[in-house]
């Protein structure tokens, strides 16, 4: 298939150009109208985004999300590659399940799927899963995300095995004992509302422990969804020691705070919880100075009925993969700048994983997005591709919407009337 996208601007340029893709790669720039032609209408062309942390709920929880809805939502959000988490039912700890998910996703024509596999059997934290077989089946990461790794010895063994296999381990770093039954950040707001709090120390203590395990093993560790200033300080110190540690932050931990829980709306219940404005601002500074490696969404869809339960009973999670870039561009683009923001959502995730960094050069894989950086559009959850058609950003006017996503040289998403 040959495809030409005309009237687009490369990042950092105001010149209108055209790019042609063929056989899943970028053929070249300004070659004329070859094959199918799509008018980019002056949008900005960039490599497709890479998501290292999304919950697609398949197998076993498809009332919340499935591969088709989740990967369609990802493509609508500008993502070309999605790493899905293994906390499904059953847990993704079987090589056959990894292979079947990849095969199914490849037939959908949306974003590319790269499954993460469970570090331990059944994510029980007791014995390692068949890590070498899972890698050979196509798993790109090991994690027990959704649960915390309470047994340090088992995590050590997992890190040692992953290192031998050339793989990354990612962790949801919270001390389960300190977290207890907390439903929001522990602090003045939780005390005022009379809700059980989850202290920042629960995350910081676990990150500190895990840094020592990295020092012990020399394995690559990726810390998911930092939410506190103290966690970032600990990661910074580990990096100064030369440890092979990376970390991510999520847009919801930058834009939202524990003040949102005054509504008693479980839509704002996430794990780790929304913290203070001071924490959010500190994490943003970490993105600016490079101590935070990349941005991930932790896309975590649930049914509307589940999220309408009270805060004590409702599950944690926010689903918004298709508006993640517009959120970041509208709220933080002025401070981060376009090139930095795109790096945090494209090349930076690739560096975390040890993958080739995406480029727009001839011969590079044809995973591309066209962005409308200027037009404001209202967030309308009813129009989401995701099954989770509700969001904290409903009704907000955002800029930076993807109008076209190309994956493997084929159109995975094109906005209507674009």
Q: Is 298 annotated as a binding residue?
A: yes
Cis before residue 59, ω within 30 degrees of 0?
yes
DSSP per position, 48-71? PEEEEEE---TTT-TTT--HHHHH
- Written as six digits, the tokens of 322 are 């298709």
> Is there a catalytic annotation at residue 298?
yes
Asked if 227 contacts 197 with a C-beta cutoff of 8 angstroms, the reply is: no
DSSP per position, 131-153? HHHHHHHT--EEE-TTS----HH
Q: Is 145 annotated as a binding residue?
A: yes
Question: How many CB atoms are located within 10 Å of the residue 235 CB?
Answer: 26
The angle at the Cα of 150, spanning 211 to 244, to the nearest 5 degrees, equals 20
In the 8-state DSSP scheme, what is residue 358? P
**Given 94, 175, 210, 298, which residue is catalytic?**
298
- Written as six digits, the tokens of 405 are 């996503």
The three-class DSSP label of residue 165 is: helix
The angle at the Cα of 112, spanning 109 to 115, to the nearest 5 degrees, equals 130
Compute the distance between CA of residue 12 and CA of residue 18 in angstroms, rounded to an integer: 15
Compute the distance between CA of residue 399 and CA of residue 328 in angstroms, rounded to an integer: 9
Place of tokens 């970028």: 26
Q: With CA atoms as reference, report the closest residue to 169 among 147, 204, 145, 152.
A: 145
Residue 339: in which H helix or E strand, if any? helix 338-345
- The dihedral region occupied by 339, where left means phi > 0, alpha psi between -120 and 50, and beta the remainder, is alpha
Q: Is 53 annotated as a binding residue?
A: yes
405 CB-near residues (< 8 Å, 6+ apart) = 48, 75, 76, 78, 79, 80, 111, 368, 369, 411, 412, 413, 414
Pairing of strands 294-295, 25-29: unpaired
Q: With CA atoms as reference, report the closest residue to 295 among 241, 332, 243, 242.
A: 332
Angle at which helices 277-289 and 324-336 cross, to 10°? 70
Q: Is 185 annotated as a binding residue?
A: no
Q: Is 252 annotated as a binding residue?
A: no
Q: Is 57 annotated as a binding residue?
A: yes
Compute the distance between CA of residue 411 and CA of residue 80 in angstroms, rounded to an integer: 11
Give Dmax (Cα) for the chain: 65
Q: Which residues are annotated as a binding site?
A: 53, 55-57, 87, 145, 172, 225, 298, 302
Which residues are annotated as part of the binding site for substrate?
A: 55-57, 87, 302
Active site residues: 298
């Amino acid at each position: 298939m040959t495809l030409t996208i005309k009237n687009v601007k490369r990042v950092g340029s105001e010149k209108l150009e055209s790019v042609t893709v063929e056989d899943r790669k970028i053929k070249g720039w300004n070659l004329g109208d070859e094959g199918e032609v799509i008018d980019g209408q002056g949008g900005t062309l960039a490599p497709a985004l890479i998501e290292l942390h999304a919950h697609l709920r398949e197998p076993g929880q498809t009332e919340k999300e499935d591969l088709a809805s989740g990967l369609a939502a990802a493509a609508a959000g500008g993502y070309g590659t999605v790493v899905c988490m293994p906390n499904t039912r059953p847990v993704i700890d079987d090589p056959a399940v990894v292979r079947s998910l990849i095969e199914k996703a490849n037939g959908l024509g949306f974003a590319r799927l790269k499954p993460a596999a469970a570090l331990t059997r059944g994510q029980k934290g007791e014995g390692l899963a068949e890590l070498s077989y899972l890698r050979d089946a196509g798993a790109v990461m090991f994690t027990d995300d959704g649960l915390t790794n309470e047994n340090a010895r088992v995590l050590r063994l997992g890190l040692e095995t992953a290192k031998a296999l050339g793989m990354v381990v990612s962790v949801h770093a919270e001390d389960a004992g300190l977290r207890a039954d907390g439903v929001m950040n522990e602090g003045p707001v939780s005390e005022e509302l009379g809700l059980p709090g989850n202290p920042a120390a629960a995350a910081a203590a676990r990150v500190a422990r895990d840094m020592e395990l990295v020092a012990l093993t020399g394995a690559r560790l990726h810390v998911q969804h930092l939410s506190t200033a103290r966690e970032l300080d600990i990661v910074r110190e580990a990096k100064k020691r030369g440890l092979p540690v990376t970390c991510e932050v999520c847009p919801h931990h930058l834009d939202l705070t524990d003040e949102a829980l005054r509504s008693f709306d479980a839509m704002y219940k996430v794990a780790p919880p929304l913290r203070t404005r001071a924490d959010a601002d500190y994490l943003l500074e970490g993105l600016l100075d490079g101590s935070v490696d990349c941005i991930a969404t932790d896309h975590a869809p649930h049914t509307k009925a589940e999220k309408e339960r009270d805060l004590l009973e409702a599950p944690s999670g926010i689903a918004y993969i298709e508006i993640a870039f517009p959120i970041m561009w509208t709220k933080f683009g002025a401070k981060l700048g376009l090139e930095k923001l795109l790096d945090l959502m494209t090349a930076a995730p690739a560096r975390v994983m040890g993958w080739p960094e995406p480029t727009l050069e001839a011969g590079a894989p044809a995973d591309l997005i066209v962005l409308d950086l200027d037009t404001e559009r209202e967030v309308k959850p009813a129009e989401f591709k995701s099954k989770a058609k509700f969001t904290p950003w409903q009704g907000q006017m955002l800029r930076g919407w993807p109008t076209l996503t190309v994956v493997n040289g084929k159109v995975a998403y094109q906005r209507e009337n674009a």
